[in-house]
Structure formats: C-alpha cells, structure tokens
Amino acid sequence: MSGGTGVTTASIHPRDQQLRPIWEKVREGVRLTRDDGLTMFASPDVITLGKMAHVVQQQKSGDAVYFVVNQKIEPTNVCVLSCKFCDFATKTGRPDAYEMTIGEILEKITPDVHEVHITGGLHPTWEWEYYLDILRQIRGKFPHVDIKAFTAVEIDFFHKKFRIPIVDVLRQLKEAGLNTMPGGGAEVFSERVRRLLFNQKIGAKTWLEIHRTAHAIGIPSNSTILYGHIETVGERVDHLLSLRSLQDETGGFLSFIPLAFQPGQTGIKPAGRFTSAIDDLKMIAISRLMLDNIPHIKAYWVMLTEEVASVALNFGADDMDGTVRGEKIAHDAGAVSPMTLAKEQIVRIVRDAGKIPVERDAFYNPLRVHTERVLGKIPYLNSVPFYVPLEKRQFRILPVTPRRMGRLARQGEIDAGLFSLVDFLELRDELEPLPYCIATRDQVRSVMLFSNYGWRQLSGKVIGITDDTATSVKLLKILLEKKYDVRATFQRMHAGVNAYEMYDALLLIGDEALRANKFGIGKFELVYDLATEWYDWQRMPFVFAIWGVRKDMTDDRKRELQELISDALARGESNLESISREHARRLHITADEAVRYLEGFNYRMGEREQKAVEKFESLLREIEIESHRDSPETAG
C-alpha cells in the first residue's frame, strides 16, 4: 500500500508494541475502537503515530495541503455568557466592548477573499433581522465569497432569544447567504467539563443536534475539540467517537480542527501542563486515525504556531486553514502565532513540507495549485489500479474530482492525469493522449441516475447533479435528449450534504454512487446505470476518462511518465484482490464486490474505445447545436 506516499506499510515498525495491532487495523481498513484511542494517547511512540496518520492522510488527499484566503470577522465581543475559558467576551458598557456596523463588516472584505468566517459574542439586544442583513449584504456585494458563519452556540442563542425553531433559524440563514457552519462551541463533549467550565453553554447533545439539522438541510460544517485544559484522555476519545458517529449518519462534516487550549488570563489550571508541540502532534495524528470518515484534518496554525503546523502536515493534517485576517478570539486568549499569515508564506510552508499547496473554497474545491509537476488523480475506486502502485518520482499527486481537474488543467496547473472525457476533448490543443483510459463494457455501477420517474417521464423535471460531474452530466443529457427525446432541468449541488427530496432525480458518480447503488438513497425507487443505457443504445463501451499529458512537457518526462503508468497498471491489475481488500471496507462493500467492480473496466484505449469516443463527441456536438438554436438569445 505505497500509493506514492513516501511512507509505506513496510517502512513502519512501531517501537511501542502496543501500536502493532492498531497498525494492522489501519492497514486493513478496520475501524479503530475506544480502547485503541486510549492506547494511542498512552503511547510514547509519537513518531509511529505520525507515520500511521500520514499514510491515512495520503490515501485521502495525496500530496495536497489545502488553505483558503479568508477573512475572520467577529462583529461584537459583547456576550450574555461568562465562560471561564474565554478572554474574548465582555459586557455592554465596558471599555473593551465593541459592536460593528454592517458597513464596517463590509469594509473588512476584499476581492481576493474566498471565505468570510463570522463568529462572535451573543449580543443581548441585536435583532434577528440584523444577523440576516449581515449575510444578505455580504452576499449582495461579494457574490463569489463563501460565507461560513455562526457556531452551534450562536444558533442555539438565536433559537431561544427569537423563539424560532432551530431548523427555521438555519433555513433563514441559508436563504440569506450562509454556505457552511464553523465547528466552534463543541469544546469537549463531557458533561463534567461543561459544568465546571461553561455551565451556561450548550452541551454535546445540543451541539450535535444542531449540526445534524444543518446537514439535513444542506449546510455542511466543520467540527472541533478544545483540548489541553481539564479534560481526561478518555473524554477526548469519547468526543472523537461522537463526531465519528454523527458523520456516519449525515456525512456533513468537511473537516476536524483540534484546538489547543490557550490559557490567557482565565485562571484555569490544566491537568499537568499546557500542551506542548508533542501533545499537539499526537492529538492531530490520533484524530486522523480515529476519524476515518471525516475528509480533512486542520493544523490550525493560529493556535499551533507556524512551526508546529508545518510538522503536522506529516502527522496526518492536510489543511493549514488560511490567512485568517482579523482573528481575535485565540489571540485574546494568548495565542503566540502571528495575527495574519500571508498566502505566500503558507505556500512556502507547504512546499517546504514536500506537499502541494492547494488554494481552496469552503467546500474543498481546488481553486489554484501553487506548484509544478502535479498529477491529477480521480479520487474514486475505479482509478486505484493506476495510482496505488504508482511511483511518483518527479511528480506529486493531487486527488481532485473530474470537473475540478478540468478547471485546473485550463489554468495550466495540472501536468498530467486521468481527465474526464469532456475535458480532454475540450483541451486537445494543450493535452497529448496516453494509451490509457477508464472505460466500461456494458455497465459501470458508479455513474447512476436515482429517480422517481421513468426516462420518458423526466420531461421538465429537476435533476440534481453533483459538483463533481463533467462527462457524466453530458452523457445523461445525450441519453435524455437523443435516446428518449426528453428535456429536463439540471441543478448543481455539492456532494455529500444535500436535501435530496427537492429533486425529481439525482445523478451521482464515483464512490458515492457505488455506495448508493448498493444501499439506496433517499426516496428514489428507480436506479439507472448510464453505461448500461449507453451500451444498450449504441452497442459500444463508454470511455469516462483518458490519460493526458501537457504537450509542453519535455519528451524525457513524458516517456518516464508513460513507463510509470504502464508499470503501475500492470501491477495494479495483477493485485486487484489486495487493492480491493484495502478499499472495500472504506466503501462498506465486500472485497469480492470491489473486485467484480474493478474487473468491469478496461484501462487501455483500443479501436472500440476510440470509436466510442468519436460517437459520443458527435452526439455531444448535435445537442450543443440544438441547445444553441433553441435558446432565447438565438431564437428569431
């Protein structure tokens, strides 16, 4: 299980023998238990914990380390609560109290910002409409900016103060412009700790229920823990398990952020000593190992310091958070990091750690890649025969969904990869094909339409399509219009957390589709395999992706890459069983099901595949011409 990680299973030899059975579980994809968590916290073998977590991180995000250009806005420090660990909040009338107007908030946002992060005190007199107006005016003036706002503590405050049900609070915020929620206010899920340190604040049950509700209506969120005060190791582990359980249920957490306690002037005496760099790195590594279903772990440099955050990128973390301009809460509590870390500095830190600096949006969609020699990797099971055995050598691997890979290629930031067929066709002037692909014979099982209607009844209906899709949505459009003479409306959505009931049908691709095909999803009763529909109609395979390399890459590097791919595929195909076993548990399918799935693909471009590409391109051109002819702008 090298996967181009730099740390292989063979290279990990735990000094602490208590970690050996845990490492075996990690290798086999077996979920870790509470006892495993306690064992890891008790272990002095921090280096092994880091290596184990690094392997898991590489499986999830390759060499990518994400960051976002964000602006932190804390509209007021006036708060009705008096939590013992908070040096930020104050009371109305005190010299340090402040309240921002919406105009002052808007002045803090600049065009280069991708995310606005809003949290603050629980103000005793502000009206509900004021909070909604903050979001509306940000959305109106900066429509490209993602708004991450209001912790579960603030949501609960709105609910109680304005007597609005929590689900309606969240719906109104979403309608006003809210994209995601931060994970603050979780502290540690221990009733003992809550009573001692923040007895006026919500506990675990309310925090989890608010995030559950947010996920159910299509608002993803982050998750956190505040550690290093009076909590026990057992309470830390229980906190992680609670988050993991909710993520199993909703899939709505984007990331997990371990927050080291900043004592400030609170007077709180932690058990033992304040967290050291070793404590922080161990917390990050164990979080990565325990939270197998949360995609990203943040090294929050504001609290960790730049130096520790840099090391954390090889201890399981894959996110540096961002520039965080204007953050006050941690610094009022004594955080020693610089108030603002410039984008160029983050890029340098990530490069120095041997990683790919990836500028992202709130949903972890890559916007820019700040390095060279990058291989794009489709992050689905169907591509693992190429990538699991691949030696990187001069290249770094960036897992990225098909549609986003195409966007990065148009910006010249992907040197080679398995490109979605539609993107490859559009980029033929820049890309040179290699004789490798992802093609299906007659079914795919992971490009699926889930529907409440038969094909011909989909006329005028709304079909939800994930932000991942590039080729698959074009294939669906061809099938609807050319095979069934039907026109439907497509609506983009973010994968994972959505109110699926608002759609008449749903197009899913990749691993999410594979799982939904087995277990079902939402209310949808009919399931269609798009590759089967294509084959029954055209009697041809369907090519979903083609390996391409930039034409301006040197000939020597092209030859090296083709040799690496050829060798990797040969080894991957000869080890489908072991590859399948490693990935099946993660997808909640059996190893045999994974093998059968992978055996259904052809990975080499042949004459039939080329003819299928030509037929698809011809049909695509026809519907685009018809769509242009029928559009209001061109009519008459």
Report pLDDT for 333.
Answer: 42
What the block records as the tokens of 24 is 């075996």
Point out the residues of the chain with pLDDT beneath 50: 1-7, 265-267, 271-272, 326-339, 633-636
Note whether 137 and 101 are within 8 A (CB).
no
pLDDT at 582 (0 to 100) = 76
CB atoms within 10 A of CB 300: 26
User: Cα–Cα distance between 293 and 312 in angstroms, integer?
Assistant: 19
220-308-117 Cα angle (round to 5): 30
Q: Which pLDDT score, from 0 to 100, does residue 578 have? A: 85
Domains of the chain and any CATH numbers: 67-358 (3.20.20.70), 374-439+543-607 (3.40.190.10), 447-541 (3.40.190.10)
E strands, 391-475, in order: 396-399, 416-420, 431-440, 447-451, 462-466
Those residues whose C-beta lies under 8 Å from the C-beta of residue 536, and which sit 6 or more positions away, are 442
Closest CA to 401 of 364, 350, 373, 443: 364
Task: Write down the pLDDT at residue 496.
Answer: 60
- Encode pLDDT of 75-117 as tens digits: 988 887 665 555 556 777 788 888 999 999 999 998 889 999 9
Using DSSP, state whether 400 is helix, strand or coil: coil
> Which pairing describes strands 462-466 and 489-493: parallel, antiparallel, or unpaired?
parallel
pLDDT at residue number 334: 44
What's the rounded Cα separation, in Å, for the pair 70 and 48? 34
For residue range 235-268, what is the model confidence (pLDDT) as tens digits? 999 999 999 999 999 999 999 999 988 765 444 5
